[in-house]
Amino acid sequence: MVDRVLALGVQYSIYSLELFLLAFLLRRKLSSRLAGLSVYVSLLFVVDAVIRPFVLNLYGLKHALYFYVFWLTDDLLVLGAFLLVCSFFRRACAKEEKLWRFTRLFLVFVLILVPGITLNSLWQHSSQIASQIASSFVFEFSQNLYFTCLILNTLLFLMMQQIESQDYELGLLVCGLGLQFAGPAASFALLHLTSGQDGYERLHDLIGPLCTLGMLLTWLYAISKAGKTASVYVPRRPVRALATAKVSLSDTD
């Protein structure tokens, strides 16, 4: 009973935060500057608070249609998260066009590679009927792209450290998305190691929504507080050039 009440509390807190964050973006006229974030939050709200609850209430948890709707919308959310990561990469490389050209090709390659890997893994089960293969592809593609987004988001964070990005708002947005990816991934690994014991399974069901809640809170802080003082990327080269100029000036004196 307590678990159920806690789960419902977290669930409706997520709905409220998604709607509040979207309204905040629109009211502060940030939807054009943060277009990727606005689209993703809208997608989250439509899927979480509208589509899935509607189908669940209409058909029930064990109905096949709810299964397909859940995993198809999960694919849609993960694809939206991938595109959001791409938009974060673009913003991080705003002053590095050569780096962005390479990164863009890499991201396109990854987007092509993930469905290829999924199809290749399902090729081993080609004896299954078409409907089973289709449902397996929907599930496997979601999982593969999810872990791909986790890796890409981590690479983005490391790249920002390497280029010494001073875009603090973007840094918080990336960290918030990292919560959404890393928490459930660690929980899934723990669930696998414990062979799905009942206590760990309940914990696994709760960690995902809590991470989503943490992501939304981090994003809200990023755009409301850090965004006011966020500065842009400052490249290294001018700093070194300035230091050299100071040394030359002191030598002349």
Tally of structural domains, the chain: 1
| Count of residues making up the chain | 253
Question: Mapping DSSP to helix (H, G, I), strand (E, B) and coil, where does residue 62 land?
Answer: coil
pLDDT at 235 over 60: no
Tell me the per-residue pLDDT of 33-58, one tens digit each, with 9 for 90 and over: 999 999 999 999 999 999 999 999 99
End-to-end CA gap in the chain: 79
pLDDT at 158 over 90: yes
Residue 39's domain is classified under what CATH number? 1.20.1070
Domain interval for residue 153 = 2-252
Question: Of 63, 253, 58, 88, nearest to 156 (Cα)?
Answer: 88
Rounded percentage of the chain residues whose pLDDT exceeds 70: 76
Which pLDDT belongs to residue 182? 85
HSE on the CB side for 146, CA within 13 Å?
21
DSSP string, 235-249: -HHHHHHHHHHHHHH
3-state DSSP of 142-190: HHHHHHHHHHHHHHHHHHHHHCCCCCHHHHHHHHHHHHHHHHHHHHHHH
Question: How distant is the alpha carbon of residue 206 from its chain centre?
Answer: 18
pTM of the model: 0.82
Per-residue pLDDT band for 201 (boundaries 50, 70, 90) equals: low
pLDDT at 242 over 50: no
Tell me the per-residue pLDDT of 61-110, one tens digit each, with 9 for 90 and over: 888 889 889 989 999 999 999 999 999 999 999 888 899 999 999 999 99
Q: What is the DSSP letter of 1?
A: -
Rounded percentage of the chain residues whose pLDDT exceeds 90: 45
CB under 8 Å, gap of 24 or more: what pairs does 38-43 form? Answer: 39/80, 39/83, 39/84, 40/80, 40/81, 40/83, 40/84, 41/216, 41/219, 43/76, 43/77, 43/80
Highest mean pLDDT among 78-87, 139-148, 160-169: 78-87
Distance CA 206, CA 203 (A): 5
Do the beta carbons of residue 163 and residue 139 sit within 8 Å?
no
